[in-house]
Chains A and B, each alone.
Chain A
Amino acid sequence: MVGFFFSQVQGLDPLTSDEVLVAQNVFFGLIALVMILAALKMVTTENIVHAALYLVIVLAGAAGMFILLGAEFVAVTQILVYIGAIIVLFLFGIMLTKGSFGTEEGEQRERNRMAILLGVLIVAVTSGSFIDSFRDAELNRQAPSTTADIGDTIFGQFIIPFEAISVLLLAALIGSVVVARRDQ
């Protein structure tokens, strides 16, 4: 699909499928590197506002991954809902609860070491099982999924989960208003 955009540039020959694969892998590597670095900065930075902005980078990178995988609708929804709404909610939460934080203690450093160990273990176990199960399984989706297909699936096969999600959103809306209301 990246190759499709490249082939639209005038004066360039349409890319062969090998070149498309190389372009896709280059884009994957770039986006993955940026996402991992931003995620690491997000969980380690002391400034919470900066952490929210690093989270924006990670979420935008995930949207790029969805486009690479041929899921445009999910990518657009990711940008609209996550970057448009959830990050704004987080920024409001940060502004309303600022201040009053202690310094790092010895106990905290001990916990950090254990958490690094835990994270490395999770990566090792899951990556090992992935590599064992899907050794060199190729992704070779030719045509990206259309939004019409997704709509058909949601409102056909998954109509009951869809209704359940809408009730869940209503419950969360009412619940958060009740929890955060000032006068009881």
Chain B
Amino acid sequence: MLLNQFLILSAVLFSIGVYGVVTRRNGVMVLMSIELILNSVNINLVAFAAFREAIPGEVFALFVIAVAAAEVGVGLAMVLLLYRNRRNIDLARIDSMKG
């Protein structure tokens, strides 16, 4: 197997995740697209770990999984708070900090 096939797969997944973050207006959908991005990063890390026959790449993939879990917890708490205060989670309508 070539290293490039994994790298290009993760580039494609990354750009799909970026597309989701930019276009979706639902706060939960934006968080899910961020998960897609973090997952493509993980594929990259593990591919390089296999390429260089080194363990630290896999360890960093595990760290990324832990950080993603923390990020989802805080992000969903913020989305729930927004929903409770404004009764919708449409990110296009959250503009009270707009300059």
Residues of A within 8 A of B (CB): 21, 24-25, 28, 32, 35-36, 39-40, 42-43, 48, 51-52, 55, 58-59, 62, 65-66, 68-71, 73-74, 77-78, 81-82, 85-86, 89-90, 92-94, 96-97, 99-102, 108, 111-112, 114-116, 118-120, 122-123, 126-127, 130-131, 134-139, 141, 145, 149-150, 153-154, 157-158, 161-162, 165, 168-169, 171-173, 175-177, 179-180, 182
A122: min CB distance to chain B, Å: 4
- Listed A/B pairs (17) with beta-carbon separation below 8 Å: A25-B1, A43-B17, A48-B28, A58-B13, A77-B62, A82-B65, A90-B31, A111-B23, A115-B22, A119-B15, A130-B4, A130-B7, A172-B69, A172-B74, A177-B77, A179-B74, A180-B81
Closest to A24 in B: B1
A117: min CB distance to chain B, Å: 10
**A168:B62 contact, CB within 8 angstroms:** no
**Known contacts A39-B36, A94-B28; is-contact A69 B20 (Cβ 8 Å):** no
> 1/0 per residue B64-99: CB within 8 Å of A?
011111111110111111011001111000000000
Question: Mostly helix, strand, loop or mixed at chain B's interface?
Answer: helix
Compute how far the CA of A64 lies from the CA of B23 in the bound complex, rounded to whole angstroms. 29
**B28:A131 contact, CB within 8 angstroms:** no
- Known: A69-B47, A127-B7; 18 extra A-B contacts, CB below 8 A, are A24-B1, A43-B20, A51-B32, A55-B35, A65-B43, A82-B35, A101-B25, A118-B19, A127-B11, A134-B4, A137-B2, A137-B51, A139-B2, A150-B55, A157-B56, A165-B63, A175-B77, A180-B80
User: Which among A62, A77, A141 is the interface contact of B50 at CB below 8 angstroms?
Assistant: A141
Question: Mostly helix, strand, loop or mixed at chain A's interface?
Answer: helix
User: Which among A55, A62, A173 is the interface contact of B32 at CB below 8 angstroms?
Assistant: A55
**A175:B83 contact, CB within 8 angstroms:** no
